[in-house]
Amino acid sequence: MKFLKYAFLFTMIFTSCKTTKNMINSKAIAKEMSARKVARKHIAANFDRKTIDAKLKVNFDNEKTNQSLSVSMKIIKDEVIWLRGTKIITLFKAEITPTSVRYYSSVFKNYFEGDFSMIEELLGVKINFEQLQNLFLGQSLLNIKEEKQNVEIVSNSYVLSPEKQTDLYDIFFNINPSHFKLDQQSVVNSDKNVRLDIKYPSYKLIDNEVFPSQIHIRAKNPKRVTAIDFIYKTVIFDTDVKMPFSIPRGYKQLKF
C-alpha cells in the first residue's frame, strides 16, 4: 500500500511539473480545431492575477521622434494602468482607468485629462480600458466569444476572424497552438489605409503565468507609421503597488 501511495504522489508531481513545463512549447503544432474551441482555450488562458509591477524598455518612433526610454508599469487588473517614463529624469506619467486618461510631460510642461482620445490618436483605432489592458497581456482586443468566428491555420497559428466583420474595419487574431495566447492581432481598414498590428514574438513563464516578454506595435495611417516596442525586463505579480499621480501646476492642457 505504501508503494502505491508514493507511486501515486510521484505521478501527480511529475504530471504537474510536466504540464507547467509544456505551457510554452516552441515545437507545438497547430492541429485542426473548431473556432469555438480555439476561442475557448484563448479565453481560458487569460491573465488571472490581481496586480502587475513591471519594468520595461520602450522604443518609440513616429518618423518625427525616435527615442528609447525606461518605463515603469503598474496595473491593478480591471481598475488602473499606471506608467512612468524615465531617461535619468521622469519624462512623463500616465494614469489610465476605465473612465479616464490622465497624462503629463515633465519635458514639454503639458498635460492631458479626459477620455481615450489621446491613446486613440496614437494607435489610430478606437480603444477602451479593457482593450488596452488586454494589449499588454497578450489577449484579444475583442471578446471572441461574442460573435461567431472563422478559423484557419496560417504559419502554425490559429487565425480567428469574425464571420461578420464590422463596417469600419477587419480584425484578425493569430493564436499560438502551445499556450493559446496571441502571436499577433491586427485591425485593418483598407479603404482608409489604416492598420494596427500588435505582435507578441515571445513569452515567458512567470510564476506559472504565461506572460509576454516583448510586444511590437505598428500603427499605420496615410500620414505616418508609428512603431512602439515594449521589452519587459522584470515582472512581479500580486504585490502592493503604489501609483502616485498629480498633475503639476502651470502645465498647458493638450486637446485631441
The 3-state secondary structure of 143-202, one letter per residue: CCCCCCEEEEEECCEEEEEECCCCCCCEEEEEECCCCCCEEEEEEEECCCCEEEEEECCC
Q: Which three cell numbers stand for residue 240?
A: 502592493
Pairing of strands 252-253, 110-114: parallel
Q: What's residue 4's pLDDT?
A: 44
For cell 521622434, the residue is: 65
Q: What's residue 147's pLDDT?
A: 85
Q: What's residue 145's pLDDT?
A: 86
Whole-angstrom Cα distance, residue 155 to residue 30?
9
Mean pLDDT of 92-108: 97
Mean pLDDT of 72-87: 98
**Domains of the chain, first to last:** 33-240 (2.50.20.10)
Q: What's residue 54's pLDDT?
A: 98
DSSP assignment of 15-67, as one string? HHHHHHHTTS-TT-------HHHHHHHHHHTS---SEEEEEEEEEEE-SS-EE
Strand segments, DSSP code E, in 63-100 are 66-76, 80-87, 89-96
Q: What mean pLDDT, rounded, does the chain reach?
A: 91
Q: Is the dihedral of CA 33, 39, 41, 45 positive or negative?
A: positive
- Residue 9 pLDDT greater than 90, yes or no: no
C-alpha closest to that of 77 among 255, 228, 241, 219: 241
Predicted structure pTM score: 0.88
Mean pLDDT of 158-170: 91
pLDDT in tens, 11-57: 443 334 434 434 688 889 999 999 999 999 999 999 999 999 999 99
Torsion angles phi and psi, residue 236, rounded to 5: -130, 140
Q: What's residue 59's pLDDT?
A: 97
What end-to-end distance do the CA atoms of the chain give, in Å? 72
pLDDT in tens, 204-241: 999 999 999 999 999 999 989 999 999 999 999 999 99
Mean pLDDT of 49-73: 96
- Residue 1 pLDDT greater than 60, yes or no: no
Residues in contact with 175: Cβ distance below 8 Å, sequence separation at least 6, in sequence order = 38, 41, 42, 157, 158, 159, 160, 181, 182, 183
For cell 511590437, the residue is: 216
Whole-angstrom Cα distance, residue 152 to residue 157?
8
- Residue 2 pLDDT greater than 70, yes or no: no
List of long-range contacts for 67-71, beta carbons under 8 Å, 24+ apart? 71/230
Share above pLDDT 70 across residues of the chain, in percent, rounded to a whole number: 91
Whole-angstrom Cα distance, residue 130 to residue 119?
13
Mean pLDDT of 177-191: 96
